[in-house]
Amino acid sequence: MVKTDDDLVIISFNHSFDIGQKVSVAMRMNVIKFIQDENKSDKSTANIFKGKIIQSSYLGNTIDYKIKMGKWEIRTNAEAKYDFKLGEEVTFHLPPEDIVVTRES
């Protein structure tokens, strides 16, 4: 588990660090899953976050989104079936098994 300085809690598996140790969190852009009403029950409750779309770029079959989550910005590629507008609030899932945590030097 990682707790950010702005109190976001991110669950990851197979990582063991000391409490208070500085770490970095990374994931592939394509592992972020948007949650809409019809599939909310498909996800565990771990790592479900809300954010705001601050940038989008249409890339044919996918759309590259930048999401503001607290003080953090993350990017993801999503299927073009999602058509979120700038400023729209979205809910998304970060699968714990796909999160990589590394020590900061």
- Model pLDDT for residues 52-101, shown as the tens digit of each residue: 999 999 998 999 999 999 899 999 999 888 889 999 999 999 999 998 89
To which H or E segment does residue 62 belong? strand 62-69
Cα 35 from Cα 12, distance rounded (Å): 19
Residue 41: per-residue pLDDT: 54
Total structural domains in the chain? Answer: 1
CATH number at residue 60: 2.40.50.100
Q: Which domain covers residue 74, as residue numbers?
A: 2-103
To which H or E segment does residue 97 belong? none
